[in-house]
Structure 1
Amino acid sequence: MSEGDSNVNVMEDYVQTTIWRKQQECYVRLNNTQQEEIDGLFCPGLFDGWVCWPDTAAGEAASAPCPEFIIGFDPSRKAYKICEETGEWFFHEEYNKTWSNYTTCINKEDLWFRQMIVTLYIVGYSISLVALLSSLGILTYFKSLRCARITIHMNLFGSFTINNFLWILWYNLVVKHIDVIKNNEVWCRGLHAVLMLFLISNYSWMLGEGLYLHTVLVSAFISETKLLRCMLLLGWGLPIIFVVPYAYLRYTFEDQNDVGCWMDDGKFFILLQIPVAVSIFLNLVFLANILRVLYVKLRQQPQGGSGASRASLQALRATLLLVPLLGLNFLLTPFRPDKDGFWEYLYEVVQAVTASLQGLCVAILFCFFNGEVLAQMKRKWRAATFRPRANSCTVTTVSVRKDASKKRKPIDEIGRLLPQNNP
């Protein structure tokens, strides 16, 4: 048996083990529990494969909690089984067997809301993906913008682009397919690990943005080439250090309750929370120190002197706005409200909007509202718009000069006809 088949059977083994245990408990309960005497006909208790049903009087309906081991069922809801007037359990002719009503185990309103949240995620990530690809195209086209800071921006865009694309795949290929989650496919767990890798890279590159600003403004005498190499190692190397052990430990020590494509956080998820928390904390420390240094420099700067560059100040402002936004999801996680309430629905909507549109905010703050990028685009637009008019002006000027030279000839001839005052 291959590894894939073995992993697929993990969930099935868990379900079968749970069903066998519940079946034994049902037989013990039906044999040992003293049933009240039921007048007239009744349906004898039985185990239908999911739920244990007690003896039920004819013409009545028995109820039981929905099985918690079935994906999509709400254990807080009730399932029903009807005992016919004849003393027999309801027989469903279409299925050709006695039938229990489990349709009530699905909260249709909650199901619609969950589907709406998934759609919200997909739309948000798609919008962010388009904005990020546009930003990468703009920064690649204008080669005059190439510098260490723009290179860091492009790597940040790249990490967000890949992450957003993977999220779209996750929701379309995994979340929407119950069979994939139930079978716990190997590829879906691999997709989860890669997804977490590039999710952590978003935060590590934001840490790189803050560290670069801090180094340039606080320690002015440093090689940008060496600094950029350190940023590349930090941005792409740090996630690997945490995600590889996370995936190995979860794969090796996963239990039967932790198999649904690793959609639940699990006990090893703290390995991914550590770099996120550290990145946000260090960025806040860097930005606070940058503000302190800028304030000191501005106070000590003589009148008319040049302080920090405008580009650096714009990057600082963008980073100040972006760090709280990127950390919002992480900060909201401990405050998840109870299920089936208004605040849970509001929480899910806020999470979906803030998470899926992070890429759009990155593109807006570091590209679309970037003063250098806007200046280059305006210069390119003017060159493309006014070039034909400049050529026409040149032609007009030449023609005017030729006409003027033609008009001067008769004036010269008249001058020769006038009497000359010789001394």
Structure 2
Amino acid sequence: MWWYYIYVFSLNCTSHGWTDSFPPHDIACENAFDTFSFPGEPFSLFSFLFSFQTAETHLYFLYVKTMYTVGYAISLISLSIAISILCFFRKLHCTRNYIHIQLFLSFILRAAFIFIKDSVLFSTEDFYHCNSYPVSCKLVLLFSHYCIMANYSWLLVEGHYLHALIRVSFSKRLYFWCYMLLGWGAPSVVIVAWGLAKYLHEDEGCWETRKYDWIWWILRLPVLLFITINLLFFLSIIKILVGKLRKPDVHGNAFSQYKKLVKSTFLLVSLFGLHYILFAFLPDKVNDLTYKIWNFVELALSSTQGFVVAVLYCFLNGEVSYLLHFSSRWIMKHHSVCF
């Protein structure tokens, strides 16, 4: 098992001054509680690291931290490029792409808060003191959870928009503001409820502990609900498309403009949903090898989710490819005329 407690810490006086405390303050002060995190968050990785002060574990930690830092950086860059493309070309300005932009933003915020959380929580051991964790520590974790939940709420918006687009006629402008409310508002309600529950019933450490399962489920249940509803939307979408394409008065390409969108959204919901269900329920007590493998795969997949979203919704989009190709040809032609 990978949980145990150390009750003392020490510092060495060297010619360069005092060394960092060993073990960290949170371990020495008996704050090594069972921790939890959303799938893809590196928080529990540090609890594991501090539980095994060995050279091998530190090396593993450095590899994993480098891996997920590179993954989130790639996601951040690709998502920023994707948003720039969708905003730059006026022909791409439509409700569908506005929703894509909001989804991209949720992943950008997620990556940004992962970097902020790393710098705030783990930049120095002096940040922690026995039974004293700054409010900023809890706020960073709170916003990090919010960003991850926003990923799933905006995926739900993508699914509902596609379902409404195929099934009924509707006011896209009105729906977009409703979608904004769902995409950014629903996670806010859940996070506020979770924050109040943590503050009133489990205000320990940096809120990374998991002593009461019902508080843990405040975060988990809405995400599972989002995934389930999205899968129901896609079952309905498939049924509608098959039914309409069987009609003699409907051509085979009647819904061709939605074909790639359906495939992309369904792929994302399936992959992210499967990823969440698999990695959200890691047993509390596992041996160190199992945890290392599990955590490495989880962080590798999670850190690159933003990149996958950008590729499917922007870089592989036919309209985007055409406009980029047309623009590059225009630039080359204009450049050759000037010189």
Calculate the TM-score normalised by the size of structure 1: 0.64
What is the number of equivalent residue pairs in this alignment? 298
Q: Which moved more, 1:300-309 or 1:165-174?
A: 300-309
Counterpart pick for 1:222 among 144, 164, 170: 170
Q: Which runs of 5+ in 1 are unaligned?
A: 1-14, 20-48, 51-66, 76-103, 393-423
Checking the alignment, whether the CA contact within 8 Å between 2:113 and 2:144 is kept in structure 1 is yes
Out of 309, 333, 338, the residue aligned to residue 386 of structure 1 is: 333
Root mean square deviation, CA, Å: 3.0
Question: In the alignment, is the contact (CA less than 8 A) between 2:68 and 2:299 conserved in 1?
Answer: yes
Cα offset, 1:358, TM superposition: 0.7
**Aligned counterpart, 1:263:** 208
Where has structure 1 moved over 3 Å in runs of 4 or more? Answer: 71-75, 175-179, 301-306, 335-342, 386-392
**Structure-1 residue corresponding to 2:196:** 248
Residue 199 of structure 1: aligned partner: 148
Q: Does 1:190 align with 2:147?
A: no
Q: How does 1:170-185 map to 2 (within 5 A)?
A: 170-182=117-129, 183-185=132-134
Q: Distance in 1 between matches of 2:336 and 2:124?
A: 59
Alignment of 1:283-362 (within 5 A): 283-302=230-249, 304=251, 306-310=253-257, 312-332=258-278, 333-336=280-283, 338-362=285-309
Q: 1:335 to 1:188 in 2, by over 3 A?
A: closer
Structure (1 or 2) with the larger CA radius of gyration: 1
Change (3 A) 1:305 1:361: closer
Which whole-Å CA distance do the structure 1 matches of 2:182 and 2:32 have between them? 44
Q: Mapping of 1:13-32 within 5 angstroms?
A: none
What displacement does 1:118 show? Answer: 2.4
Bigger mean CA deviation after superposition, 286-295 or 208-217: 286-295
For residues 50-65 of structure 1, the aligned pairs below 5 Å read none
Give 2:82's aligned residue.
135
C-alpha distance in structure 1 between counterparts of 2:143 and 2:26, whole Å: 30
* Alpha-carbon distance, 1:73 to partner: 11
| Distance (Å, rounded) in 1 between the aligned partners of 2:179 and 2:105 | 14
Cα separation, 1, equivalents of 2:72 and 2:29: 26
Deviation at residue 387 of structure 1 after TM alignment: 4.4
Q: CA 1:304–1:198 in 2, change beyond 3 Å: closer, same or farther?
A: closer
Q: Secondary structure at the match of 2:208?
A: coil
Using the aligned pairs only, state the percent identity. Answer: 29
1:72-106: CA deviation from partner (whole Å, max 9, x where unpaired): 9999xxxxxxxxxxxxxxxxxxxxxxxxxxxx972
Q: Give the structure 2 partner of residue 145 of structure 1.
A: 92
Cα 1:213–1:68 change in 2 (3 A) is: closer
Q: CA deviation at 1:270?
A: 1.3
Deviations 1:345-382 (A, max 9, x none): 21111111111111111111101111111111112122
Higher strand share: 1
Quick check: 1:197–1:239 contact (8 Å CA) kept in 2?
Answer: yes
**Aligned-partner residue type, residue 145 of structure 1:** L
Does 2:240 correspond to 1:282?
Answer: no
CA offset digits 1:6-59 (Å, max 9, x no partner): xxxxxxxxx9xx97xxxxxxxxxxxxxxxxxxxxxxxxxxxxx78xxxxxxxxx
* Alpha-carbon distance between aligned partners in 2 of 1:72 and 1:124, rounded to the nearest angstrom: 33
Q: Deviations over 1:239-266 (max 9, x none)?
A: 11100111122122225xx31x122345
Distance 1:201 1:68 in 2: 30
Task: Pick 1 or 2: higher relative contact order, CA cutoff 8 A, min separation 6.
Answer: 2
Kindly tell me: are residues 390 and 329 of structure 1, through their superposed partners in 2, closer, same or farther at Cα, counting changes over 3 Å?
A: same
Is 2:71–2:304's contact at 8 Å kept on the other side of the alignment?
yes
Contact 1:157/1:362 (8 A) holds in 2: yes
Read off the aligned partner of 1:242 and give its amino acid letter: V
Structure 1 residue identity aligned to 2:261: A
Aligned counterparts of 1:313 and 1:330: Cα–Cα separation in 2: 26
Q: What does 1:2-81 align with in structure 2 at a 5 Å threshold?
A: 69-70=27-28
Pairing 1:374–2:321 present: yes
**Partner of 1:300: helix, strand, or coil?**
coil
Aligned partners of 1:135 and 1:368 also within 8 Å: yes
Confirm or deny: 8 A CA contact 1:322 1:362 kept in the other structure: yes
1:370–1:326 CA distance, 2 compared to 1 (3 A): same
2:37 maps to which residue? none
Give me the TM-score of the superposition, normalised by structure 2: 0.79
Confirm or deny: 8 A CA contact 2:245 2:252 kept in the other structure. no
For residues 364-420 of structure 1, what are the alpha-carbon distances to aligned partners after superposition, in whole Å with 9 as ceiling and x for unaligned?
11011111111111121222223467899xxxxxxxxxxxxxxxxxxxxxxxxxxxx
Post-superposition shift, 1:342? 3.2
Aligned to 1:111: 58
Letter in 1 for 2:178: C
In the TM superposition, residue 324 of structure 1 has moved relative to its aligned partner by 2.3
Q: Is the 8 A contact 1:120 1:353 kept in 2?
A: yes
**Structure 2 runs not aligned, ≥5 long:** 10-24, 34-50
Hey, what's the Cα distance between the residues in 1 that align with 2:298 and 2:217?
Answer: 19
